[in-house]
Amino acid sequence: MEGDCLSCIKYLMFVFNFLIFLGGSFLLGVGVWVLVDPTGFREIVAANPLLFTGVYIILGMGGMLFLLGFLGCCGAIRENKCLLLFFFMLILLIFLAELAAAILAFIFREHLTREYFTKELKRHYQGYNNTDVFTSTWNAIMTTFDCCGVNSPEDFKDSLFRLINQNHMVPEACCQRASQTGEVAYISQEQCLSGNMMFRNNKGCYSAVVDYFELYIYVAGALAIVLFAMVFAMCLFRGIQ
């Protein structure tokens, strides 16, 4: 009976890690394709700091999942204690990193509120000074997520941006864009900057970013998967004679 249970754990672990291996291979393939793609997609990504950083995040995640899946598959099917121990240690590191991220998010939760971001935007955002890290980061966020301000374009009232640019109601990064022949152009930049709601993005960036990352909140479920993987690895490790 014990042997049957061990055999079941072995093959379940193999299938589980094979899926992880395939997922890692796919992410690696996508990341490498974006970096070496000769059709011009690389230039589009390189022009946007967030997208460019995202490519390397995808490569890093792909590489980690690839290694994790490989170790798990080989360790399970070959019943190799060394590979299983290495797999367990890697899974443990991932679990601790996720736990640390959750703790930090809880500790600094007061700095992740709409009010905090709105106050900082009003005080520090300059609009067109791309040498300023705060300004260039906000420009990248608004351009990437097609949003404006923290809550809405109204956030720029009584702000440093309006003091510096008195003729503009919103910054250029808030203007709606249309792709034409592979190039990005503003639909009507003049109307947008003058405050016309028809030609600017009216959704706040806080909601836009939360909606985007809501897809990844399910990653929290990965904690349970990681724990199961750790238990399976240790059961198989202890069961190997």
Answer yes or no: is pLDDT of 148 > 90.
yes
Q: Is the pTM of this model over 0.75?
A: no
Backbone angles phi, psi at 170, to 5 degrees: -140, 160
For CA atoms 128, 133, 134, 138, give the dihedral sign. positive
Mean pLDDT to the nearest integer, 95-99? 75
SS (H, E, C) 143-193: HHHCCCCCCCHHHHCCCHHHHHCCCCCCCHHHECEEEECCEEEECCHHHHH
Mean residue pLDDT of the chain comes to: 77
> Is the CB of residue 150 less than 8 Å from the CB of residue 204?
yes
Going by pLDDT thresholds of 50, 70 and 90, the confidence category of residue 13 is: confident
